[in-house]
Structures are given as structure tokens and as C-alpha cells.
Amino acid sequence: MLCWINGKPKKNISVMDRVVQFGDGCFTTIRLIRYQPDLLSYHIDRLRKGVKQLFLPSPNWKKLINNIHDIAKLNQKELAVIKVIISRGKGGRGYSIVGCNKATVIILLTDYPDIYLDKQQTGIDIALSTIPVNNNRYLAGIKHLNRLEQILIKRQIESLNVDEAIVIDNDGILIGCCAANIFLRRGKKIYTPKLHNAGVEGVMRKKIITYLSNTNYELFYVNDYPKILINSDEIFITNALMPILSVNRILIKSHNYISHYCSRELFNLLLPYCLKLN
């Protein structure tokens, strides 16, 4: 792993930085294809949205983009990962943001999780998590650094020996997965959660939505319960790294049944498009 803080090679950060004190900031995770960051404009747009939504001090965006490209050139593998973290910067012990005027920008270059390459071929099994995420329209859509809910959900995923988990909000409404957005298909109709009160607006989700708008598939944004998944022809999940995985089975223990999905019609159409550098 290689690390840069504020544009310089460095691995240490002040204990008074608010990323340490409160997880006060936002982040994005970029798939690196050779030396090229995929969907970089989408990632920057979402970081900008996060900075605005959280009232963070803006970094120098041009410098940040240049730093990402410079760091990408150091990659020596076919696939790698760049993670960008924007913190509110140094502050006091309390919650007040007064005086926090300079963002801390952290960029990490790490290995690509090769398991995704295998799962693209085999598909995945997922379960229904019993841990909900909170509704909060002030935080919805962005990748903020407060991820305790996802950490608890990931622990549950590992204890159930599945690949991912369906996640609901406090009202039981389908949001997506722990680290991915979710789509389901019934014939030519595609459904995906609205994400207006919870969840992350993924960059691969955005890319797929753009693609579907130019096909004969019809896309619907839904605010529904997980039962909507039951009678689907196929289900797939997406994020910037996967970038798309087909769901084979859903284990829903509280209802004592397992749903099976055999079709990969739309997945097979989308996979080459999602793998392509954009």
C-alpha cells in the first residue's frame, strides 16, 4: 500500500484530525485499470456533493485530480484501487467545526480484490441483514466516513458465510447491499431503490442507469420492501470495484426460505460495458 497526505508521500496523520476524532469527511474508491482511473469524473462529482452536503472545506480540486493521475502512474498491475478520503482537517476535541478551514486529503493506492474476478463468473449468494441503516436525508447519497452500520453488517455477512447482504432502512424499506447497489429485472422492467433517505448513489449504478436509458429496458426507482426481490427474473449488484455481480441465491432466514435466480440475461449484456474503462 502507498499513501499520500495532502499531495505528499506520508503515512501519519494528527490525532486531532477530525477524520480520527469523528470520521468527519467523505471518501470514494476508484478502480484503476493499468494507469487509468475509471469513472473519475463521476467520483469527483460525488466527492464534490459530499463536501457540499457536509459543509467541508473544499480541497483544490484541480490539484486533487492531478494527484490521482500522478499516483495512478505508479501502479504496476493490471488492476488496482485508489481510495480518496477528504477530512474536515484538524480541529478541537468537541463537535464544533469553527476554525476547521483546511481539508486533509488522503490518497491510498492498494491492491485490487481479485475475488471479484472469480465472482463475475460464478455469481454470488447473499442474505437479508437484520441490521438496518438509519434514514437521514442529510447524509443520503454520499459516501461519508461514518460506516459503523456497514461494519456490523459486514460482520454478519462473514458469520453467515455469504458474499453480501440485502440492507433495509429503519422502516424496512430496501436500500441495497452492504457495499453495493442492487438492481432486479422482471422481463424488460428494471427496478432499483430510490435512495432518497438512505444509501449511497454508486458511480457504477449511475453508469448502468445511463446505459439503460438507451435500451428497450424500462427503469423504475422504487421505495419497497425486500419482498420485491422474490419474483424477479434476475438480480445483480454493482459498485465501482466489482463492478457488477449476478446473484444466484438469497437466503432469508427470518422467512425460512431461499430464493434462486437462474437468468443472467441483463448481467451478460452489462458486464462488458461495466468492465470497459470510462
**Number of domains observed in the structure of the chain:** 2
Residues 45 and 179 reside in one and the same domain: no
C-alpha cell read off for 117: 474476478
Residues 94 and 131 reside in one and the same domain: no
Residues 90 and 149 reside in one and the same domain: no
pLDDT at 155: 98
Residues 63 and 37 reside in one and the same domain: yes
pLDDT at 252: 74
Residues 105 and 224 reside in one and the same domain: no
pLDDT at 257: 54
Residues 225 and 123 reside in one and the same domain: yes
**What is the C-alpha end-to-end distance of the chain, expressed in Å?**
25
Residue 94 in contact with residue 53, Cβ under 8 Å?
no
* 189: nearest Cα among 249, 234, 243, 223: 234
Instruction: Tell me how crowded residue 135 is: count the other CB atoms within 10 A of its CB.
Output: 16
Question: Is it the case that residue 230 has pLDDT exceeding 90?
Answer: no
Q: What residue ranges in the chain does DSSP mark as E strands?
A: 2-5, 8-9, 25-33, 36-37, 79-87, 104-111, 124-128, 164-168, 174-177, 181-186, 189-193, 218-222, 234-238, 244-252, 257-260
Question: Is it the case that residue 116 has pLDDT exceeding 60?
Answer: yes
- pLDDT level of residue 259 (50, 70, 90 thresholds): confident
pLDDT at 254: 56
* 250: nearest Cα among 237, 241, 242, 259: 259
Is residue 209 exposed (0-12), middle (13-18) or buried (19+ Cβ within 10 Å)?
middle
- Among 95, 112, 129, the domain boundary falls at 112
Q: How far apart are alpha carbons 87 and 146 in whole angstroms?
A: 12
Residues 51 and 186 reside in one and the same domain: no
Residues 266 and 180 reside in one and the same domain: yes
* 251: nearest Cα among 82, 81, 126: 126
Residues near 275 by Cβ (< 8 Å), separated by ≥ 6?
A: 243
Question: Is it the case that residue 251 has pLDDT exceeding 90?
Answer: no
Mean pLDDT value of segment 163-167: 98
Residues 135 and 94 reside in one and the same domain: no
Residues 108 and 121 reside in one and the same domain: no
Residues 21 and 85 reside in one and the same domain: yes
Mean pLDDT value of segment 141-159: 97
For the entire predicted model, the pTM comes to 0.95
pLDDT at 113: 98
C-alpha cell read off for 233: 427474473
- pLDDT level of residue 255 (50, 70, 90 thresholds): low
* Percentage of the chain exceeding pLDDT 90: 94
* 86: nearest Cα among 29, 154, 39, 11: 29
- pLDDT level of residue 253 (50, 70, 90 thresholds): low
Three-class DSSP category at 35: coil
Residue 162 in contact with residue 126, Cβ under 8 Å?
yes
Q: Which residues span the domain enclosing 56?
A: 2-112
In this predicted model, what pLDDT tens digit does every residue of 40-77 receive, in sequence order?
A: 999 999 999 999 999 999 999 999 999 999 999 999 99
| CATH code of 195's domain | 3.20.10.10
Residues 97 and 155 reside in one and the same domain: no
In this predicted model, what pLDDT tens digit does every residue of 90-101 receive, in sequence order?
A: 999 999 999 999
Q: How far apart are alpha carbons 205 and 44 in whole angstroms?
A: 15
- Among 112, 136, 157, the domain boundary falls at 112
* 155: nearest Cα among 165, 145, 146: 165
How confident is the prediction for the chain on average, in pLDDT? 96
| CATH code of 102's domain | 3.30.470.10
- Among 54, 79, 112, the domain boundary falls at 112
Q: How far apart are alpha carbons 223 and 191 in whole angstroms?
A: 10
C-alpha cell read off for 198: 438512505
In this predicted model, what pLDDT tens digit does every residue of 6-39 receive, in sequence order?
A: 999 998 999 999 999 999 999 999 999 999 999 9
